[in-house]
Structure 1
């Protein structure tokens, strides 16, 4: 069985470096590429075109929206689903306003990665001065570049609460206790909307769980994956 990993906003495959070793026993790891497309539907189609015939699907943050779109487009290919620090809610007014600001910015403006303030807000309040973590997040954005920043910043997330009932595969929802970008209530909404899903809350981490708390995340993921009906070592 393969695992398809879907990163979040302005994150690349290195997001998963801290957990990839623990996931490897479950099968080859594949990475969705979200750099090139401007809609959730197109991102999902591109990921499916490059993905193995069937797979376990793990999506983080914005990647959780993409992961659910993958399930809606090809439910027969997704054996199990993990949604990390994500939401079923549509874009807030504040987020729509920020998209408008990005739309008005000149495309030629040089992109130097996400701002330090934005990155710090995505971390646990106690990690706001952790320069190594901040630089790691910033570097992912720099590698993706300005065009990906514009596309992902303008991405419409309409919300899919009414569609969650279509998700029938085993599902795990993972929340961060100190997430300042996505509330615990948002994870609870996903959990309530997906029949039979499990919910896990990881303490002492902000939104960037795969980078901030990879060991704690692995301790949640591994037993759950081992519990899947078709798992065998």
Structure 2
């Protein structure tokens, strides 16, 4: 049997982010991580490792990528293959932290309902901003996540460390994938991760923004299948 796959979603995302890939890899054991219960990347990673299989392939997007990099620092021997999708190895900038704090304050003072709608345009390719079907999925994932978990997630992101100094220690086969129209973590951010991880490969997916597994599922699934099936 092939190695189990552990998917880690991004900010405000649930297993629905990977729905097309979960179907495509139904022949493998699959686990989708819970990243909603803790307010630090280290605690999230520890909680996931407690429940994860002994050995697994790790696929993670955006915030999930930050958690995956922590998993690689804590338990690299448990990861067979690593796929980092639309993510960033840098710490938050002051501007990014200020924006996150604004959204935390907005959630606490005026409620959470507007937050997914404010975030949606940045999540997708510019050509998908008016895609109501895709937006409905993104908003539903956010509502399922809820305001308390959103605040915990944003707190974890504000306080995350710079992962770049230890990327060179990653020794397992690694795929770095990014949408060519990703406005949150642009191609150059993924190029930087690729440059730091020895023998990694970089895939730039045409026509996609930040939520590549949902925006262009066929392309992402095909790229992941090729990567995972390689000896």
Question: So what's the TM-score if we normalise by structure 2?
Answer: 0.93
1:197 to 191, 200, 211: 200
Q: Distance in 1 between matches of 2:193 and 2:65?
A: 11
Contact 1:113–1:139 under 8 Å retained in 2: no
Q: Structure 1 stretches of 5 or more lacking a match?
A: none
CA offset at residue 103 of structure 1?
A: 4.9
Contact 1:2–1:54 under 8 Å retained in 2: yes
Q: Distance in 2 between matches of 1:130 and 1:137?
A: 11
Q: Which residue of 1 aligns with 2:22?
A: 20
- Provide, for residues 122-169 of structure 1, a one-character-per-residue CA deviation record: whole Å limited to 9, x for no partner: 111111111111111011010111101111112222221101012111
1:10 to 6, 9, 12: 12
2:190 matched to 1:187? yes
Q: Distance in 1 between matches of 2:191 and 2:100?
A: 27
- Provide, for residues 35-77 of structure 1, a one-character-per-residue CA deviation record: whole Å limited to 9, x for no partner: 1011110000010011011100001011001011111111111
Question: So what's the TM-score if we normalise by structure 1?
Answer: 0.93
Once the two structures are overlaid, the 10-residue window that deviates more, 118-127 or 58-67, is 118-127
The alignment's C-alpha RMSD in Å is 1.5
1:126/1:76 Cα in 2 relative to 1: closer, same or farther (>3 Å)?
Answer: same
Q: Distance in 2 between matches of 1:216 and 1:15?
A: 15
Count of residue pairs the alignment pairs up = 227
Task: Note the 1:29-48 alignment, pairs <5 A.
Answer: 29-48=30-49
Once the two structures are overlaid, the 10-residue window that deviates more, 156-165 or 181-190, is 156-165
2:224 matched to 1:221? yes
